Structure 1
């Protein structure tokens, strides 16, 4: 891939563009842009004892900072590396190689946004190779269309490695080191790499970014209008990930069976019609369609900053969804989805990111949940097929197009290296 023109971009824009480009040349350019020798960078180092790290791969929240309202701040730069198994049989040598490689990352980088956060998740296709079956405590069906008119492609490869950091050079060099393209990471030597276990699928590599101002920086990409608020962290123009509207890590964790401590992950790649969203709707209409028609513009703010730690979906507003559809002719995206709450509690922990993969705006919608069925219920509630309202006024459905979807099991850390389908039976 051609590297971006540094002279035309700010340092922040340049780092994001290099992550999207990927590869050794992008890493070299990124390190050059930092202007510091590799060994002198202030990247916090990891642990000498990786076994001391949390058993939950997905337990990131305590390693991330929070904003003034208590909302978790996601890491800024993300890579989703698609992997296909490159061995005939999964044996203990392959598992040891995989684990040794992942532990190198943990020794090299602190488990934080200033260092590196990562998870390794596996598709249903990966587990199909084993004689045993996944236990009943794991709900991991093949992905499928979930709304009228959806025709997404599905992730049929074996695994996805999600790398996240506030530092663009960290996700790039971690990705390079994992596949034998870098011998050391800040002085930590790779004793093994994944190149003899997995093949990377560059055509399925995905990248993303989150952060105030980053979406507005991409107005040079076709389909990204200049009218995106300058400090919006997401392409749709509003904050997301409100603390009181997110499931906790306990709620999304599998709590029984051999994969207890793991979670399921759903990853959808979604195209966005931003020119219509910002060109056809005013701020009041965008607030109504994203949140609810009862949300007051001033109580939301320009980018949702006035909402604090909640999206403002009270039980009363959620219960009124059907009435709003019939009487007001419009319902909110978050309002519809909130109907799937259980005992008032959200089911999903969202960690979605903006993307301009393929030089077009979109979102990689990543959600963690105890079982994929939880995601399906929320997705059906968000679709709102039961509501008496046009698609154009049914939240943001009119502006979203699902292009790809995958379901994954993110095992507990002790089983992250090529797990069998039935760990108990495997001994």
Structure 2
């Protein structure tokens, strides 16, 4: 049964339970998903890919070959409270993560997850991590933003089409369950990591529209389209606008087969987006002016197939800024590529954490520098100043985003995912 056929009321109920979390939420998800639960693992954990970020082969695709992210997301920001790290702690964590892999099939039908470690975590070691991988401390990346850098040690990103899988995984890691999906839990985070912050999100056609009444900064007219997978009303994650998993994978060194993660917590100003701008203006600012002029988008843009069709728009960014007084978000980002391929693999999700409409922007890239370069293109400083395009106004979607938090993580290969050192053997 596909997730779309499960019915929006059920999906919205489960989404609300995931947002709450805890034992009662887990029980509620089990009850609501009793007739259609997550799949038990069919592959031994030892046979899983070394790449933690190898999700594409295990998630659904739409009719155009675009990868569809799992519907429910939980981001557990962790603080190290252990004694070392020690080998005993590594064995404990590995048992915990392996328990999740034995309980659920890898991917949307079960559970996909990554475990990443921050510069703060690696600062406790004498050896400099920069000899192995590019992982700077997070910082503001434009004059118009003032985010607070996260100082957590680690991040566990859980994702599934089933609420019981992500909440159950949380509960198991916290030591609250002895059995998960019929499989015994053999390890937990207890005594090694504390969950310092919990963030939740969702992706899927219809869910943002169902959630808009529960979030501030969305007009009372409830303008989010029913076919939109994200709050801003348009489809994202087109296959041709995403880096491949190979492109974002670290190719050599001790963390070969790993990647890096950038995570931003972003508030959305949807009053301005929907009440100030017409649909044509929104299309121009999200994609490019040519898309608006030519009526290329139908609804949320599912008709664009496997690409947002902005390659030609990237070449006209300066002309559009100068002559049209507006430049599109996707148009700006399209200027940063490695040959024909983007640098980032985005796996972000909408959120109503804190009862605000928001976005947890999560991307994988080989080097954090790749994210920085892409963010600089998105800032569009080279396009602003002499026209109606300002540092925020008419400059893509910058006017509608407020970056609250930033973080960088190294996502090691599976063999080093449990308390790695800067120079693992």
Partner of 1:408: 409
Aligned-residue CA RMSD in angstroms?
1.3
Structure 2 residue aligned with 1:58, among 43, 53, 61? 53
Which SS does the other structure have where 1:173 is aligned?
helix
Is residue 87 of structure 1 aligned with residue 88 of structure 2?
A: no
**How far apart, CA to CA, are the structure 1 residues paired with 2:120 and 2:371?**
19
Is residue 223 of structure 1 aligned with residue 217 of structure 2?
A: yes
Q: How many residues align?
A: 409
Tell me by how many angstroms 1:350 deviates: 0.4
Structure 2 residue aligned with 1:196, among 179, 184, 191? 191
Instruction: Answer yes or no: is the 8 Å Cα contact 1:252–1:370 preserved in 2.
Output: yes
Instruction: Answer yes or no: is the 8 Å Cα contact 1:124–1:142 preserved in 2.
Output: yes
**How far apart, CA to CA, are the structure 2 residues paired with 1:130 and 1:306?**
50
Partner of 1:18: 17
Tell me by how many angstroms 1:137 deviates: 3.9
Instruction: Answer yes or no: is the 8 Å Cα contact 1:330–1:393 preserved in 2.
Output: yes
Which SS does the other structure have where 1:101 is aligned?
helix
**How far apart, CA to CA, are the structure 2 residues paired with 1:175 and 1:160?**
12
Instruction: Answer yes or no: is the 8 Å Cα contact 1:47–1:106 preserved in 2.
Output: no
**How far apart, CA to CA, are the structure 1 residues paired with 2:25 and 2:158?**
16
Instruction: Answer yes or no: is the 8 Å Cα contact 1:47–1:108 preserved in 2.
Output: no
Deviation by residue 1:331-387 (Cα, 9 ceiling, x = unmatched): 000111111112232000001100000000000000000000000000000000111
1:3-402 → structure 2 map (5 Å cutoff) = 10-35=9-34, 42-47=37-42, 49-201=44-196, 204-221=197-214, 222-225=216-219, 226-296=222-292, 298-314=295-311, 316-388=312-384, 389-390=389-390, 391-402=392-403
Tell me by how many angstroms 1:135 deviates: 4.7
**How far apart, CA to CA, are the structure 2 residues paired with 1:61 and 1:308?**
18
**How far apart, CA to CA, are the structure 1 residues paired with 2:408 and 2:133?**
12
CA 1:100/1:52 → structure 2, altered by over 3 Å: closer, same or farther? same
Deviation by residue 1:268-311 (Cα, 9 ceiling, x = unmatched): 01000111101111111111000011114532211011211011
Deviation by residue 1:151-199 (Cα, 9 ceiling, x = unmatched): 1111101001000000011111110011110110122111221112111
Tell me by how many angstroms 1:65 deviates: 1.1
Tell me by how many angstroms 1:248 deviates: 0.2
CA 1:200/1:336 → structure 2, altered by over 3 Å: closer, same or farther? same
Tell me by how many angstroms 1:48 deviates: 5.8
Gaps of 5+ in 2: 1-7
Instruction: Answer yes or no: is the 8 Å Cα contact 2:261–2:368 preserved in 1.
Output: yes
**How far apart, CA to CA, are the structure 2 residues paired with 1:147 and 1:105?**
39
Gaps of 5+ in 1: 1-8
